[in-house]
């Protein structure tokens, strides 16, 4: 029997965060274990207890949250990961990763990992098409980061445009091909 894969799901503050619930279910069903790491801003949109209930694992939020046992969480989580999936990925989290900014737990884990990092953007079309965002995505692709989506669809503001989170099946298919 194959070793169960450990996926870190990084969640940032996009309205598409609700789709992360289905991503967790699909990872558990088709891939393996999932540990959720939330940005502080994402906690304004959904409570960590939702992800903990769905994943069956502790949810990590703050860089300085108290650990149950002494360990350096960003390093231990980075080592444990077979893949890191950031879904939804906002323009902010993409910019921080591209710039090497490590001011939260998620960005520190990403910088410390040797596992593949898969990024699923979700944001307003104007933010997605902005030259700065496109330069950040291009830079990360050149460094070996993998992107899935976004897709065209109805955005949170009501406009129709590019910026919707890729379909869950598409994301899971990409996860499975990368581990």
Residues annotated catalytic, as ranges: 157
Phi, psi of 5 (to 5 degrees): -85, 145
Do residues 89 and 12 lie in contact, with contact meaning Cβ atoms separated by under 8 Å? yes
Do residues 74 and 47 lie in contact, with contact meaning Cβ atoms separated by under 8 Å? no
Cα separation, 69 vs 44, in Å, equals: 27
How many other CB atoms are found less than 10 A from the CB of residue 178? 17
> What residues contact residue 2 under an 8 Å CB cut-off, 6+ apart?
none
Rg for the chain, CA atoms, rounded: 15
Do residues 158 and 164 lie in contact, with contact meaning Cβ atoms separated by under 8 Å? no
């Amino acid at each position: 029997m194959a070793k169960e894969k450990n996926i870190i799901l990084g969640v940032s503050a996009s309205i598409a965060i609700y789709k992360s619930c289905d991503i967790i279910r699909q990872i558990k069903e088709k891939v393996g274990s999932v540990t959720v790491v939330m940005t502080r801003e994402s906690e304004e949109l959904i409570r960590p207890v939702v992800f903990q209930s769905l994943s069956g694992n502790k949810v990590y939020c703050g860089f300085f949250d108290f650990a149950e046992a002494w360990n350096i969480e960003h390093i231990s989580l980075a080592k444990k990961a077979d893949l890191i999936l950031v879904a939804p990925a906002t323009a902010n989290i993409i910019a921080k990763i591209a710039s090497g900014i490590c001011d939260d737990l998620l960005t520190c884990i990403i910088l410390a990992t040797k596992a593949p990092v898969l990024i699923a953007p979700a944001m307003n079309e104007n933010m997605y098409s902005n030259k700065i965002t496109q330069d950040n995505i291009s830079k990360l692709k050149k460094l070996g980061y993998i992107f899935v989506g976004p897709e065209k669809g109805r955005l949170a503001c009501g406009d129709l445009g590019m910026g919707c989170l890729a379909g869950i099946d598409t994301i899971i298919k990409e996860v499975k091909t990368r581990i």
